[in-house]
A and B are shown apart, each in its own frame.
Chain A
Amino acid sequence: MKKIFLVLILLFGLGVLPGWTEEAKINIVATQTIFADLVKEVGGDKVNVSSIANPKYNIHFIQPRPSDVRKVAKADLYFNAGLDLEAWSDPLLEAAGNSRLFRHSPGNVDLSAGIRLLNVPDHVVTRAEGDIHLFGNPHFQMSPENARIMAGTILEKLKEVDPDDSSYYEANAQKFLSKLDAKIIEWKKLCANCRGKEIISYHEDIAYFADFLELKSKEFLEPKPGIPPTPKHLQFLENYIQTNHVKAIVLPTYYSHKEADKLAQRVGAKVVTICQGAGELPGTEDFFDFFDYNVKKIAEALQ
């Protein structure tokens, strides 16, 4: 009985407001550019998407501007990385005062849901270990495999808030996923030779990317997360790189390249810029371009 009622109400609503339902788009804010791009893939022209964090800056420390507060105040949905990645996110949501989007509200979508997290601490974490992430490594956007799960989360949410266009969203998601499947095979093939090779990253933001391409990543330029390289640690890395024949040091654009360059010069390794955000470098704005770029760069360096 209830269901019939719901259907009746829905039909009635559609009949009365056809123009409105056609034009109104869902307003969506994503914390990161790559999330925004995924939402666009699934939402197509039924959604208005914008992002907060400029990919040229470290995602941990973004300073939101008034336009960001305004965007969030108006948004219907807020897609974010959850965990403890975007420290500025909760204060931003609070400043915007849009209670639908607060943490644990239905409008606040945690894209880490369902993702198999890496580097989850297996013990009680103390401050002595640096700026460690309590829930596991939050840089999960770096594996294309995770995009499958994120696309699923996005699809479910869009269907929930806009059930009328369910089939449209499903078709978009399907299209995206089949392209992704093909691309994943292509990327793995391109890096087939790299499997098992070791890289050194500045920050521990490469774990998912390394996992995807089956690269080894054990040591970092930071002696502990959030702490710039010290002379002793750089000396340790110099020996480590030589004994283990590490060929590449990877880091995004926004960390200091000085130490990496110096180290690479001494041991004859290559410094590779691997983007963390879509649009961090020109030509990486789109989800697929982003991974095309990163995979190509790492393949070149490790050949």
Chain B
Amino acid sequence: MSEFLHIMALPFLACLILAGIHAYLGFHVIERQVIFVDLALAQIAVLGASFALVAGYDMDSVQSYWLSLGFTIIGAAIFSLTRFKKQRIPHEAIIGIVYAVSAAALIMILSRSGEGDEHIKQALVGNILLVTWPEIIKIFCIYTVIGIFHFLCRRQFFMISADTDHAFQSGVNVRLWDFLFYVSFGFVVTSSVKIAGVLLVFSFLVVPSVCAMLFSNNMRVRLALGWGVGFLASVLGMMVSYYLDYPTGASVVCVFGMLLLLSALVKKSLIID
């Protein structure tokens, strides 16, 4: 048991921090029906980092960080500017296009730069098993700041997510708030993807919210349920990974899948009763 703690404590802590912010952001993402926005923003951020590589800076350098942040902001601008009162082109389509184009642009840039794509790939894969204290402290600080920002502006964010038409009518500057939402969201996913990889981040974002939606329409209840699911998946994922010796990130993702299935079964039996 002490050995289990020794090896899995840091990955578990990292999972809890990820669960905290992503289950919350996932609520918004599901309500806005922009499920794959995290993949698109992560891809844009990596594209920014690749420009830093071409200019001769390291993946971990300050220049690389600011460039990927700058690209994330451009992505946020694209997503907020393409949101209209009467949406003719589905927002999901734009997200998909941004994802595909930035992934392709990345391939083109790397082929010219002479930098192997493996460093870049690492930025999208991550291995949560080998997470370090400095990384944990870094994401904790970033997520806390963004969490506080979202708490202070909760009225606007929730109003837009829950009922966009109402938000437009009541005079809220929807585009500005959308922009702020996507910038802060981009900040979060870029840091978390580096540590945990796209698969795990996507699961932390979407599965808790979807599980919670099965049981309640109330926002507070859904958030609480979502955090519970995130916590449970982290605990079980660590155990599966440790005792059955599977890659840690993939174990957590599959546990998430099982939990969703279980939730659906529980929900069904509740209805029949």
**Chain A residues near B132 (CB-CB < 8 A):** 91, 94-95
Question: Which of B113, B127, B246 meets A64, CB within 8 Å?
Answer: B127
**Which of A95, A130, A226, A230 interacts with B7 by CB under 8 Å?**
A95
Pairwise interchain contact A127-B7, C-beta atoms closer than 8 A: no
Cβ-defined partner of B130 (8 Å) among A61, A88, A131, A227: A88
User: Quick check: is B60 within 8 A (CB to CB) of the other chain?
Assistant: no
User: A129 to chain B: which residues have CB within 8 Å?
Assistant: 114
Residues A208-257 near B (CB distance < 8 A): 224-228, 230
A69 touches B7 (CB 8 A): yes
Q: What residues of chain B lie closer than 8 Å to A227, measured between beta carbons?
A: 110-111, 114-117
Given A65-B247, A70-B7; A130-B130 close (CB under 8 Å): no
Secondary structure call for the B interface:
helix
Q: Mark A117-157, 1 if CB is under 8 A from B, else 0.
A: 00000000011111100000000000000000000000000
The interface size of chain A toward B, counting residues with CB under 8 Å, comes to 29
Q: How far is the CA of A225 from the CA of B114 in the complex (A)?
A: 8
| Contact A226 to B56, CB < 8 A, known contacts A64-B129, A65-B247, A70-B7 | no
User: Contacts A66-B8, A69-B7, A70-B3: A226 and B129 contacting too (C-beta < 8 A)?
Assistant: no
Contact indicator A126/B56 (Cβ below 8 Å): yes
Across the interface, B116 reaches (CB within 8 A) one of A65, A94, A97, A225, namely A225
Residues in chain A near residue B129, CB distance under 8 A: 63-66, 69, 95
Which residues 78-107 of A sit at the B interface, judged by CB distance below 8 A? 88, 91-92, 94-97
Please, which residues of chain B bring their CB within 8 A of the CB of A128?
56, 113-115
Q: Decide if B116 touches A130 in the complex (CB within 8 Å).
A: yes
B209 contacts chain A at the CB level, 8 A cutoff: no
The A-B contact count (CB < 8 A) is 81
Q: Does B241 contact A (CB under 8 A)?
A: yes
- Residues in B with CB closer than 8 Å to A303 are none
B53 contacts partner chain A, Cβ-Cβ < 8 Å: yes
- The answer, yes or no, to whether B273 is at the interface (CB within 8 Å) is no
Contact call B10/A95, Cβ cutoff below 8 A: yes
**Nearest-CB distance from B131 to chain A (Å)?**
8
Interface of A is mostly: loop
Q: Is A28 in contact with chain B by the CB < 8 A criterion?
A: no
Are A73 and B114 in contact (CB-based, < 8 A)? no
Knowing A66-B7, A73-B7, the reply to whether A127 touches B53 (Cβ < 8 A) is yes
Residue among B10, B118, B247 with the highest chain A CB neighbour number at 10 A: B118
Mask of B85-119 contacts with A, CB within 8 angstroms, 1/0: 00000000000000000000000001101111111
Shortest 4 CB-CB contacts between residues of A and residues of B: A226-B116, A131-B116, A91-B130, A67-B245
B245 touches A230 (CB 8 A): no
Known: A66-B245, A227-B116. 14 other contacts (CB 8 A): A60-B118, A63-B125, A63-B247, A64-B127, A65-B241, A66-B129, A66-B241, A70-B3, A73-B3, A95-B131, A131-B119, A225-B116, A226-B116, A230-B111
CB within 8 Å of B: which A31-74 residues? 60-61, 63-67, 69-70, 73
**Looking across the interface, which residue of chain A has its beta carbon closest to that of B53?**
A127
Q: Does B155 contact A (CB under 8 A)?
A: no
Q: Which residue of A lies closest to B4 (CB)?
A: A66
Q: List 11 A-B contacts (CB under 8 A).
A: A66-B248, A69-B129, A73-B6, A91-B127, A95-B131, A95-B132, A126-B56, A130-B115, A226-B117, A227-B117, A228-B117
A127 to B247, CA, bound (A): 31
Say yes or no for B65: interface residue by CB 8 A criterion. no
- Asked if B140 CB lies within 8 Å of chain A CBs, one says no
- Supposing A66-B8, A94-B132, A95-B130 touch, asked if A130 and B248 sit within 8 A by C-beta, the answer is no
Contacts of B242 in A (CB 8 A): 66
Expressed in whole angstroms, the Cα–Cα distance for A94 and B132 within the complex equals 8
Residues of the B chain whose Cβ atoms lie less than 8 Å from the Cβ of A228? 117
| Complex contact B8–A92 (CB within 8 A) | no
Give the CA-CA distance A130 to B119 in the complex, in Å. 11
A149 to B110, alpha carbons, bound, how many Å? 38
In the bound complex, residues from chain A placing their C-beta under 8 Å from that of B116 are: 130-131, 224-227
